[in-house]
Structure 1
């Protein structure tokens, strides 16, 4: 047999051990949120007002290892420009480093001006620069897929562990 040559795009693939994979899945089954609050005085009483949040979770890339996924970052309009969004973003990145993540992932709509912010923070648009495309299958499509699958028996479920 001849030697197998990996395509150039495979050069960045790192392997992880079975133990790392198992621990990552066990420890990744949760969402976390960073919240920023401001004290507000209301008729002599002090109460807290949510002024920003960052919602994230841990995931696993079969090519790279443990990742942290920034699902949402939001700052109320009156606090935008105060560097609160930057502080929340940095804290999510810090959490990723502290928990052994090899990358942070996020998705940004193509019209969102926050793309400039993320690029300044070191993010790479992998759609244009690394030839990745992000896909999503909505619920209707999933239901259609399953209805078709079971109607036409595409998979012998007796021989496949699902």
Structure 2
């Protein structure tokens, strides 16, 4: 079995969308457009906060993987040129120097994105990815631990 990574997940998502399988929960979600995916992102950010504070590392890894999944789905909906290429650098290094990252901050920034539902782009999604990855690193999660849940 090939090792999971964000690029292979993105390829799987693109294939699901192209097949347009009505039984697929991802296809159903995408049919709801950006608002439906944003609701899932806000929900997952809250679950990251709960897992960070009260649950195991494995629970946090699961919540992060689900958050990343919805970020990728949202990126596909945006249809920005080069979206697939952008994620190839994720998550090499978190570009959040001199910034305090907390689960609360992730929830706030995700909710802010949802409120601005019509005015955001790939840069905003990339920032949310890096914020969430920083939270995982604070709990000493490895990338493979998160990707194992995808």
Give the TM-score, by structure 1 length: 0.24
The structure that is helix-richer by fraction is 2
Larger Rg: 1
